[in-house]
Amino acid sequence: MEYAIKILEKERELIVTALKNGENEHLTALKELDKALDWLRLLKEKQLGAAKKYNVETLPFIEGRGGFSSYRIAIDNETDDIKFWNEYKKMDGSHLLLFPGDCIFNER
């Protein structure tokens, strides 16, 4: 990942120089590079592998529940009986709330 990031950073420097020289047609390219670099840095930070190893699920609007309903993640404790399930909590003890439009990345 580091190699790709370095190449894009070098290209970014060239675009910034061109923009400073008044070549404003490169502004869109700069925005695209910044977006790509942000994603690559996040993938590196989270130690995610090749994109083909992941499925991305966008959570749909919850029909009939209004706009303020959320999704929750439950630990099923190896049973289908929901009375034995526990809600997942983050390391700080807070609940992880997911909303329509949020994305979940899971390994295939």
| Residues whose CB falls within 8 Å of the CB of residue 31, separated by 6 or more in sequence, listed in order | none
Tell me the pLDDT of the chain averaged across its residues. 94
pLDDT value at position 41?
97
Tell me the pLDDT band of 63, cut-offs 50, 70 and 90: confident
Residue 40 vs residue 66, higher pLDDT: 40
Read off the pLDDT of residues 64-93 as tens digits, 9 standing for 90 and up.
877 678 999 999 999 999 999 999 999 999
Q: Where are the domains of the chain?
A: 2-45, 51-107
Average pLDDT over residues 6-33: 97
Query: What phi, psi does 81 have (nearest 5°)?
Result: -80, 110
Read off the pLDDT of residues 47-58 as tens digits, 9 standing for 90 and up.
998 999 999 999
pLDDT value at position 69?
85
Query: What phi, psi does 86 have (nearest 5°)?
Result: -125, 140
pLDDT value at position 102?
96
